[in-house]
Structure 1
Amino acid sequence: MTPDPSPARTLPERAAALGTALAAAIVVIAIAILPFLTPVWIGFEQSRTNAGGLTGYDEASLRTATSAILHDLVLGPPDFAVEIAGLPVLEERERAHMRDVRGVFAGFGLLALVAAVGLFALAAGARRMGHPERAWRAVTSGMRWLIVGIVVAGVIAAVAFDAVFELFHRLFFPGGSYTFDPRTDRLVQLFPFDFWSETTTVLGAVIVVIAAIVSVVAARRARRAIARSTSVVAADSAEAASAAAAGVEAAR
């Protein structure tokens, strides 16, 4: 009989597995977001959604305005006071919304950092307990559930992106602070609705790809950990049996 390297788990161990799965999912989402905060992606998507035509800016002015807003969003300070031809790009209400956006980003960044630390600690704990495969299995489960969640969200967004976009803003921003007129407000001219719908679609695809890769790698690591654990148990059993046989022989 092959010894079970992963016996029934206690409630704390199950909680640790759930925490590992959630932490892994958060870390993957955070990693997937990073490329979309770069000038390369934003410039590409602005060209697709005609941000230059909507704002009336030439290419250099568009890059200047966008780069300054992106800098204030990611690095700060959150002034969002860039000017083009001596005129502010964003009005105060738009700047206030961008400060709110930065607060949401900072909160998620902190959550991702905590998740990364927690993931490392939980994986180390599983290894110390002699069951590293549990951490890898939890990561695998987290990735699979993340893929399911993203696919479901993608289907919903495909048929009702307007409603999803509105719900997101209602959850994270004060009511009325995020409604702007695309005819006059630079913020929604620089980042029009199609910018967000396309970016969200590609982000979802990137999350699914990363999660699928991590799931495959984690599943393989889990199988290897189980194989090593089983080999160790079998070797210990064989050694014990050999010692017992030697003892019996000596007694004769």
Structure 2
Amino acid sequence: MTSAARPGWTAALAVLASVSVVIAILGVAVALFFNPLWIAFEQERSAVPAITGYTPNQVRAVTGSILADLFVGPPEFAVAVDGQPVLDAAERSHMVDVRNVLLPVTILFGAAVAVLAVLLATSGRRPWLWRAIARGSTALTVAGIVVGIALVFFFDAAFLLFHRVFFPQGNFSFDPRTQRLSQLFPDQFWTETSIAIAVVGLLAAIAVSVVARRQAARLQADAL
């Protein structure tokens, strides 16, 4: 590789590192809250047993079945209580769409983590890599502040925009009076979970930015 090509190659890797760290931080923040422990906690806070008429054990069993179909498959979402299906055809169709979005997003997260691992293993002593990580996490910090404000003051609009982007077919609006999906995961659940993800993502981005900038400065000083 010529000396003229190396800066361009390094710049491309730096962009890749910046993008990968954003995806990795977001993925970790989401994973921390989309797990059975947090979901059960939020469902209890949101009074889901009272809303659905199910017992707490039934809520846990139904939610566990839905999550298993979502993350493991097959995506049947045919869980029943007392012989009655929990989700109707429209709700099951939406959950299949959610799984179809989740799978490529999960692959993207895994790829981002793998890219960062390879770059850190091969270029972890290079200041440019840590500067790139700092740039990505700083950009995420700014975006996190904007998103956090939007969630606090314009949650309904932000929630609708998210669904219109990822589910353009429009099958994401359910009647909370009669349809179980919106009863199992009510507005309070989504509001508090979204805010928690935004806060943790923001704090993680700030922490990564600070650590990366310090590491870049230290390596730069050592090279002098």
TM over 0.5: yes
CA distance in 1, matches of 2:130, 2:170: 44
**Equivalent residue, structure 1, for 2:104:** 107
Q: Which moved more, 1:69-78 or 1:145-154?
A: 69-78
**Equivalent residue, structure 1, for 2:129:** 135
CA distance in 2, matches of 1:101, 1:135: 34
Match of 1:160 among 154, 161, 169: 154
Q: What are the equivalent positions in structure 2 for 1:1-252 lying under 5 Å apart? A: 10-124=7-121, 126=123, 132-230=126-224
CA distance in 1, matches of 2:100, 2:63: 19
| 3-state SS in 1 of match to 2:154 | helix
Matched residues, percent identical?
Answer: 42
The residue identity in structure 1 corresponding to 2:33 is F
- Displacement of 1:54 in angstroms is 1.1
Whether the 8 Å CA contact 1:123–1:132 is kept in 2: the answer is no
Whether the 8 Å CA contact 1:26–1:115 is kept in 2: the answer is yes
Whether the 8 Å CA contact 1:25–1:146 is kept in 2: the answer is yes
CA distance in 1, matches of 2:128, 2:102: 31
Alignment gaps of 5+ in structure 2:
1-5
Whether the 8 Å CA contact 1:49–1:194 is kept in 2: the answer is yes
Whether the 8 Å CA contact 1:37–1:70 is kept in 2: the answer is no
Q: Which moved more, 1:21-30 or 1:152-161?
A: 152-161
CA distance in 2, matches of 1:176, 1:211: 32
Deviation per residue, 1:141-175 (Å, 9 max, x gap): 11111011011111122221111111111111133
CA distance in 2, matches of 1:142, 1:209: 14
CA distance in 1, matches of 2:181, 2:20: 33
CA distance in 2, matches of 1:152, 1:112: 22
The residue identity in structure 1 corresponding to 2:105 is F
Q: Which moved more, 1:213-222 or 1:60-69?
A: 213-222
- Displacement of 1:136 in angstroms is 0.7
CA distance in 1, matches of 2:38, 2:115: 30
TM-score (norm 1): 0.82
| 3-state SS in 2 of match to 1:96 | helix
CA distance in 2, matches of 1:11, 1:149: 27
- Displacement of 1:93 in angstroms is 1.2
CA distance in 1, matches of 2:104, 2:217: 36
Whether the 8 Å CA contact 1:20–1:123 is kept in 2: the answer is no
Whether the 8 Å CA contact 2:21–2:136 is kept in 1: the answer is yes
Deviation per residue, 1:18-37 (Å, 9 max, x gap): 22111011011111111212
- Displacement of 1:125 in angstroms is 5.2
- Displacement of 1:11 in angstroms is 3.7
